[in-house]
Amino acid sequence: MPSYHDGAMGDMFGGGWGCRRFLLTIMLSMGVGLLRADPITTQVVETDVAAGTLTLKGQGLPQPNGNGTQIVAVGAGDAAIGYTGQTVSGDLHLSGGTWRLDNIWPANAADKAVMDEVTRRLSYDSVELGRQAYRDVGDEVPNFALYDENGKLVRSNALLGRRWVLDFIFTRCAQPDMCPAATAHMALLQQALKTAKLDDVTLVTITFDPMYDTPGILRQYAQTYGLDLANFELLTGPPEEITALMEQFGILTRTVDGVLQHTAAAIVVSPQGRITYRKDGDFWTVDEMMRRLQPSSATASPAAPEPAKAG
């Protein structure tokens, strides 16, 4: 596995400046900009989507005003989410004279506890079962708990009762015949489902680059591809959980000359949470998936396996 999957996601749910604020004050007084991002956990009290800013309140803000708040710039996806009334963690830095908060994650202790437990069980299954942990047609999908493109915790059992199609991507993928093509196909599939009035199908995409793909990045990615989030979930979370899910769904990655290469699969899951079809490889058609998603095809047998292709 690539090294960026290892270890914790920095200080995803916490952090602070501590005594570094004193040094920062000296730097600012000397007119020196911050050269690196520093982690901070703070409360969001207001969002201005048009301006692309959040108003923060809490300890450790470098330049709070009289009421203890500070306005910072954020990405378009984070502004769309808003996070108003929530506690978030992120990396605060000075960019072109403007304070900016990037790498934003919800900082919710209850969510973290759920994710930690799910990750522990997934990792245990992957080690204990070895190759038998791989999920094929007829198997139940593993339990997961991940953040969606709105920063809300989504558990796999919330999908029970609906059919869903799963794939894996990463938003920085620059190979047009891999992730961009997969997401474009999912967008076309979503339109076909609407046309056919199949409103009991959810589309699910999980990133395997969670160090970069925050909820806000996924929200902006969805906007770029024109995805209707009414029945589309884009999910991210702790690298350890993502890695365990990739192992169990048979998604492989490797880094060659600094470029992340990966295999691909599209997986259809029944309302009972069992895999009814999987198409390995980086090419599938909307017509093919629509045939598999017709109610009469819920228990259809898989097509002949194809070799997974590294992009």
- Identify the three-state secondary structure at position 212: coil
Q: Is 91 exposed, middle or buried (0-12, 13-18, 19+ CB in 10 A)?
A: middle
Task: Tell me whether residue 310 is in a domain.
Answer: no
pLDDT band at 3 (very low <50, low <70, confident <90, very high): very low
Alpha-carbon distance 248 to 236, whole Å? 16
Residues 119, 147, single domain; the answer is yes
Q: Domain with 198 in it: what CATH number? A: 3.40.30.10
293: β partners? none
Task: Tell me whether residue 307 is in a domain.
Answer: no
Residues 102, 126, single domain; the answer is no
Residues 40, 51, single domain; the answer is yes
Task: Tell me whether residue 122 is in a domain.
Answer: yes
Quick one: tokens of 260?
């992340």
Contact status, residue 21 vs residue 60, Cβ threshold 8 Å? yes
Task: Tell me whether residue 133 is in a domain.
Answer: yes
- How confident is the model at residue 17, as a pLDDT? 37
Q: Which amino acid is at 186?
A: M
Residues 91, 117, single domain; the answer is no
Residues recorded for the chain = 311
Indicate if the pLDDT at residue 21 is higher than 70: no
**Rounded to two decimals, what is the model's pTM?**
0.81
25-69 per-position pLDDT tens digit: 433 433 344 446 789 999 999 999 999 999 999 988 999 998 999
Residues 137, 20, single domain; the answer is no
Residues 74, 176, single domain; the answer is no
Residues 136, 203, single domain; the answer is yes
107-136 per-position pLDDT tens digit: 999 999 999 999 999 988 878 777 777 889
Alpha-carbon distance 217 to 171, whole Å? 8
Q: Which amino acid is at 93?
A: H
| Count of the separate structural domains present in the chain | 2
Residues 91, 126, single domain; the answer is no
Q: Which of 19, 20, 26, 86 lies closest to 58, judged by CA?
A: 86
Domain boundary among 48, 71, 106: 106
- Domain span holding position 292: 109-297
Task: Tell me whether residue 131 is in a domain.
Answer: yes
Q: Domain with 53 in it: what CATH number? A: 2.40.50.140
Task: Tell me whether residue 252 is in a domain.
Answer: yes
Contact status, residue 107 vs residue 88, Cβ threshold 8 Å? yes
Residues 59, 185, single domain; the answer is no
Indicate if the pLDDT at residue 104 is higher than 50: yes
Indicate if the pLDDT at residue 280 is higher than 90: no
Task: Tell me whether residue 55 is in a domain.
Answer: yes
Task: Tell me whether residue 169 is in a domain.
Answer: yes
Residues 138, 181, single domain; the answer is yes
Portion of the chain with pLDDT greater than 70, in percent = 83
Domain boundary among 44, 72, 106: 106
Q: Which amino acid is at 117?
A: E
Residue 22 phi/psi, 5-degree rounding, is -60, -45
Residues 44, 63, single domain; the answer is yes
b/e map of 60-76 (b: 16 or more CB within 10 Å)? bbbeeeeeebbebbbbe
Residues 177, 267, single domain; the answer is yes
pLDDT band at 224 (very low <50, low <70, confident <90, very high): very high
Q: Which of 279, 277, 274 lies closest to 156, judged by CA?
A: 274
Domain boundary among 106, 125, 152: 106
The single-letter DSSP state of residue 20 is: H
Contact status, residue 254 vs residue 261, Cβ threshold 8 Å? yes
> Which H or E run contains 155?
strand 153-155
